Amino acid sequence: MSVDPEHMAEDRHTVTLRALAGMSLELCRDLQQRALDAENPEDAVRLATAFHRVSRGLRQTLALELKLVRYKDDLHFKAQEKADLAEAKAKAEAETREIAVDQRRDGVWTRVGDCFWTEHEGADWNLPDDGIDRPDRPPPEDPMWDRLEAFLDDAEQRDDFLTRDFDLLVIEACDAIGADPTLIYDIRGRERAEPEPETADSS
């Protein structure tokens, strides 16, 4: 497992400062005892001065160690906060995409269903706004719908599923189940182009 060099450096510094603080504390205790046991005032003053200097260094070492600990805690907090925000953002984006994917799948199902019923029901097809219920869709076990479901399962894995042209996606879905996509335009109020009349042979 790889270790972050920055964390390694921080840990090394912390260990060093703690060791230095321990040695300084031990030295302070030794100087204090020697100052108390000094046989003449000159030695006592000299040892007391040394004790004062070492103890001041010990206080600075402890302050630096505390500052480093707080710095590490702050880094950890910010890293955790950043990770939590990234996780929340990824979750929200995934949920948003899931909703969009479901909507697009439903849209394709509706358009392909329209194409199927236009092809197989003809004049029996009921427009959405005529107040008459649509005829039932083919049963779920119909192989055609299985092919459509398989096509959509594969299509939604592509990066452009939500951005590609919707009509092109419907045409591909129709091709996947063997339906004629041009029939969709009949139920959308668009008339299909009539074949051009044949011209009489003048010869």
Span 82-132, pLDDT tens digits: 999 999 999 998 899 899 999 999 999 888 877 666 555 543 434 444 454
- How many residues are given for the chain? 203
Question: Is the pLDDT reported for residue 179 higher than 70?
Answer: yes
Backbone angles phi, psi at 174, to 5 degrees: -60, -45
CA 33 to chain centre: 63
Q: Are 25 and 61 in contact (CB under 8 A)?
A: no
Distance CA 133, CA 130 (A): 8
At residue 188 the predicted structure's pLDDT band, cuts being 50, 70 and 90, is very low
Distance CA 109, CA 91 (A): 27
> Between 194 and 155, whose confidence is greater?
155
Distance CA 129, CA 126 (A): 8
At residue 187 the predicted structure's pLDDT band, cuts being 50, 70 and 90, is very low
Distance CA 189, CA 185 (A): 7
pTM for the model stands at 0.46
- What is the reported pLDDT for 83? 92
Distance CA 42, CA 51 (A): 14
Distance CA 102, CA 96 (A): 10
